[in-house]
Amino acid sequence: MRWAIWGHLWTDTQREGGRPAAIVERCRASGIELYLPHTYPIAASSRGYFSPGITYASRLFALPVHDLLTPLLAAAHAARVRVQPWLLPFVTELQHGESAEELFPRRAYQSAEFARAGAGAPPDGAAKDGKVLCPTWPENRARAVRALHDLLAAGGPHLTGINLDMVRYPNADVSWDRPCHCQACRREYLRLFGTDTLRPEDLRQPAVAYLFARMRNACIRALVEEIRDITRGAGLELTVSARAHYYEAAVLEGQDWVAWARDGLVDAVLTMNYTADRAAHATHVQLHGRLMRQQQRALHYDGVGRGSSMGENPIEAVLTLARDSLAAGADGVSIFHYNAMRDDDFRRLADLA
Ligand SMILES: [Zn+2]
């Protein structure tokens, strides 16, 4: 059984008495082969994770640095547990005090309504407006590559892989209903449609929707291809945390992870299939299993939530969902997240050994 687990390096280290090595020891003892830590600052919330600063030796981000990654990687190297820190290419809101709108106002994602309103609160709570960088800008993709190099330099010789997270446009329920109208997107619309304005109703025309999604996928894929070249050149694995709603979200947001797997751009896909609804989980993983069977070049870890914004699953339910994942053809299961697991929960993973 291939077990992986997402984590949050600051919180997980706190849980282990301040010893990153203890995370690795617990993973190894539980049969978890891959630990994927979030290493950026995280605002306090009730979700069981938080970080007051960045937890790798960043020289790019002007933040409090607490280097927990170096001792984690040294321990992981000795224990043969793989560690893949997340790269968040377009998110800056997690970096305290560095909202995209403040740092790069022209290059932030902005719906037409947001752009019209100017800088300020987004209309009707569209939380993504102005808070993430729009992937259409080559400058934003170049910044993501700088962030990758920052992480690689900090990781040093014991780093063995990178996990891509949120490598896509904002959620489809925002970005499809409220297409971005930053300068770079408007330039693309003008080229594709002869007008620099794209209304949600325009996307009901299948050909317009196709061209729009194709543009988005071309932008994101170009970045993934570049990151693949860099990580492969450095001898590192590359994996992606993928949207579970493949048709309804991933493809519309420029994250066609099935194509990336088929074309050898990633070594593994970890689907974020965290729902507590067993039938919905099965529907997703059965589709993913059918899609992933059409290629042989990447592993498929199905994501199962122990505790997430989509709800809580007791460990019994986690094991049931994991069995469903394997029955649908997944190569392994990735759990969200480390600090949502109780001590006894880790021992129960042996039930599926
Ligand atoms: Zn844009």
Q: Give the mean pLDDT per block of 10 residues along the chain (353 residues).
A: 97 98 98 97 86 92 88 97 96 63 80 66 52 91 95 96 96 86 95 96 96 98 98 98 97 97 97 96 98 89 92 95 97 97 97 86
What is the SS3 assignment for 48?
coil
260 CA to middle of ligand 1, Å? 23
Look at residue 123 in the predicted model and tell me its pLDDT.
46
292 CA to middle of ligand 1, Å? 31
Look at residue 101 in the predicted model and tell me its pLDDT.
64
| Helix 206-233 × helix 138-155 angle, to 10° | 30
* Calpha distance 118→285 (Å, rounded): 42
179 CA to middle of ligand 1, Å? 8
* Calpha distance 57→22 (Å, rounded): 20
Return all residues near 335 (Cβ < 8 A) that are at least 6 apart: 3, 4, 5, 6, 303, 304, 305, 306, 318, 341
201 CA to middle of ligand 1, Å? 18
136 CA to middle of ligand 1, Å? 5
Distances (CA, A) of 235 to 143, 158, 228: 22, 11, 10
273 CA to middle of ligand 1, Å? 28
135 CA to middle of ligand 1, Å? 7
182 CA to middle of ligand 1, Å? 4
pTM score: 0.94
Look at residue 134 in the predicted model and tell me its pLDDT.
92
17 CA to middle of ligand 1, Å? 43
96 CA to middle of ligand 1, Å? 23
Look at residue 124 in the predicted model and tell me its pLDDT.
46
β-pair type (307-308, 311-312): antiparallel
318 CA to middle of ligand 1, Å? 38
162 CA to middle of ligand 1, Å? 26
3-state helix, strand, coil in the chain (%, to 5): 45, 15, 35
